[in-house]
Amino acid sequence: MSTDMTKVVVTGLGATTPLGGDVATTWAGSLAGESGISTIEEEWAARLPVRIAGRLRVEPSAVIDRVQARRLDRCEQIALIAAREAWADAGQPDIAPERLAVVVGTGTGGALSMLGQDDILESSGARRVSPHTVPMLMPNGPAAWVSIELGARAGAHTPVSACASGAEAIAMGLDLIRLGRADMVVAGGAEACIHPLPLAGFAQAKAHSTRNDAPQEASRPFDTDRDGFVIGEGAALVVLERADLAAARAARVHAVLAGAGVTSDAHHITAAHQEGQIRAMRCALASAGLAPRDVQHVHAHATSTRKGDLTEAESIVAAIGVHPAVTATKSMTGHLFGAAGALGALAAILALREGVVPATRNLEHLDPQVKLDVVAGRPRRGAFTTALTNSFGFGGHNASLVFTTEPA
């Protein structure tokens, strides 16, 4: 185990998701088994084979200043919203700027701005393109804006690792503190890319659910009738800090970030590989100084694809066993890509803090090949003290995080 000086705790939580505009409503929606997935009503969706998505419950325009919003991509806007909530939840700590870092991962960054401004260029010419285009489209934009907002000068980093980005950001935050490069890190992920192009691309790849007639039933991890993920948007950020500093300022501790494991498959650009996933989980446990038997809860990556869910289920059995209570909240939010790992981490932290694991929505018939204790029907209560989260992305990116409760 790490020493007290390098023990890292979570003192702030922030989010805006398809279930709610903040952490409290997102968590309440998860426990209630709500769905944030709906039909895309815009005309552009009519010509697509996929017409469903997990859209934000609260529009950023209801929170972000109008003038500032015009200069920010949607992904940057929601990163700021989540960062402000997390920072306020941490008590707006007084910390030297040179000891505060930011790590915000994303899969596509400002894709909406890039595609939108390209449309303007093609239809109206270069003079109509926004002068803010490049800062809006660059993937490091969310991290940069959060660092400016908070005055963080110990580094502003952007892991771009597809669907593992948010979890890798939190793992990087752990490393920055353990290596002494920062005392506090605001870390997580943001994603906003609900647009015809990615929807068409995922449909062509047979990765996205086409259950257009029943959007709330479309995302069904581990179910025999799953037919693909559902694209979602949102942001989730946490405040990490040295445990001794948190204790000195009497901060509320939500959980301990005990360990992290980051690996790569070097196997296939889209197909997952068990070896890399297993190694990520084992590395995370080794980093935390824990054994597989210590894990009581697993927040699965579980996107609702035929092959992906089964590969992960087999990897969990091999790395940890069949004993943990497993859940998959993408059944309610859809797949937030670069923000998914951070939102999964937030769900695991709250499960430990509140002693309850949300049920996996739409799990009516567990795939008989999935040999896991998947929570379904209703939330499961218990004295959970250790949770592991998984995040896997195209390109063979694997990230697992281990959280524990603060010792009494």
Please indicate, yes or no, if residue 287 is contained in any of the structural domains. yes
What is the Cα–Cα distance from 91 to 93, expressed in whole angstroms?
Answer: 5
Please indicate, yes or no, if residue 97 is contained in any of the structural domains. yes
**193 a catalytic residue:** no
pLDDT value of residue 408: 57
Given 249, 276, 293, the domain boundary residue is 249
Q: What angle do CA 310, 313, 314 make, to 5 degrees?
A: 90
Domain of 382? 259-404
pLDDT value of residue 163: 97
The catalytic residue among 75, 157, 163, 297 is 163
Mark whether 144 and 182 lie in a shared domain: yes
pLDDT per position as a tens digit, 205-220 = 999 999 999 999 999 9
Please indicate, yes or no, if residue 367 is contained in any of the structural domains. yes
The catalytic residue among 254, 299, 301, 397 is 301
Please indicate, yes or no, if residue 1 is contained in any of the structural domains. no
What is the Cα–Cα distance from 343 to 354, expressed in whole angstroms?
Answer: 16
Average pLDDT over residues 249-271: 96
pLDDT per position as a tens digit, 10-62 = 999 999 999 999 999 999 999 999 999 999 999 999 999 999 999 999 999 99
Does residue 5 carry a pLDDT above 70?
Answer: no
Does residue 393 carry a pLDDT above 90?
Answer: yes
Mark whether 96 and 34 lie in a shared domain: yes
pLDDT value of residue 2: 41
Given 185, 220, 249, the domain boundary residue is 249
Mark whether 264 and 211 lie in a shared domain: no
What does pTM read for this prediction?
A: 0.97
pLDDT value of residue 3: 43
The catalytic residue among 195, 297, 335, 397 is 335
Mark whether 327 and 350 lie in a shared domain: yes
Given 222, 249, 276, the domain boundary residue is 249
Does residue 386 carry a pLDDT above 90?
Answer: yes
198-215 b/e with 16+ CB inside 10 Å = b?
Answer: bbeebbeeebbbebeeeb
pLDDT value of residue 161: 97
pLDDT per position as a tens digit, 173-206 = 999 999 999 999 999 999 999 999 999 999 999 9
**Domain CATH number, residue 378:** 3.40.47.10
Nearest of 159, 399, 394, 395 to residue 266 by alpha carbon = 395
pLDDT per position as a tens digit, 283-321 = 999 999 999 999 999 999 999 999 999 999 999 999 999
**301 a catalytic residue:** yes
pLDDT per position as a tens digit, 108-158 = 999 999 999 999 999 999 999 999 999 999 999 999 999 999 999 999 999
**75 a catalytic residue:** no
Number of independent structural domains in the chain: 2
